[in-house]
Each structure stands twice: as structure tokens, then as C-alpha cells.
Amino acid sequence: MQVLTLDSLLELAEAWRKDGQEIVFTNGCFDILHIGHLQTLSRAKAEGGKPAYTIFADATLEFFARLRPRTTEAGLRIRGVGPMKAERYLEAFLEIIRGWED
């Protein structure tokens, strides 16, 4: 997984656009892949060349920003963070949050 700063993401998106590539947004929990996920991903691919995925919904990100969890246990108490997402993504988010305090 690659976590980008907003500035880095905007630079990358601009380079893709200059290269004639479209960016397509989709979201969902893809921890356990099933036919509905494949259909969603196929539609996104058909729409453009660079799919962008969200991991957490806006409401979950607002909880992260407000509560600023610093441990896995605290992160797991946030609505929208389940065991599978925590295993894959939580530590990267916690590192960013810890950086806010430094």
C-alpha cells in the first residue's frame, strides 16, 4: 500500500492527466473479494485508466481526525475500522496521525 500526501497525489494526478489518462473514483471494502467487487472494479476500469480507491469513508476519517488514536486498540474503537482493515491499513494511518503531533 502506498500512502500519498495530498500534494503528491495532486502532482501524480496532473501527470496522468497530461498523459491523457483518466482517473476514476470507486470505493468499497475489498478485503474479501466476491462477484460484486469484481463488477465494481470492472466498471471502474472501463471508465478510465487509473482507478483511485478509498479505504475509509469520510465519517471514519473525521473520527480519526477528531480522536487521533495513537494505538491499534484505540484505532479499532473507531466506527468503520474492523479487524481486516486494521490489519491492512491501520498502522499506516496511525503513523500519519503520530506525525501530526511531532
Same structural domain for residues 89 and 47? Answer: no
Number of domains in the chain: 2
Q: pTM, whole model, 2 decimals?
A: 0.57
For residues 4 and 39, membership in a common domain is answered with yes
Q: Which amino acid is present at 89?
A: Y
Residues 26 and 69 in one domain: no
Question: Which range marks the domain in which residue 19 is found?
Answer: 1-54
Would you place residue 18 in the very low, low, confident or very high pLDDT band (cuts 50, 70, 90)? very high
> Are 41 and 87 part of one and the same domain?
no
Backbone angles phi, psi at 41, to 5 degrees: -65, -40
Same domain membership, residue 66 and residue 39: no
The string of pLDDT tens digits covering residues 44-98 is 777 776 766 677 888 888 899 899 999 999 999 999 898 888 988 899 889 888 8
Shared domain check, 96 and 78 = yes
> Residue length, the chain?
102
Give dist(CA 91, CA 13) in Å, integer: 25
Kindly state whether residues 36 and 76 are assigned to the same domain: no
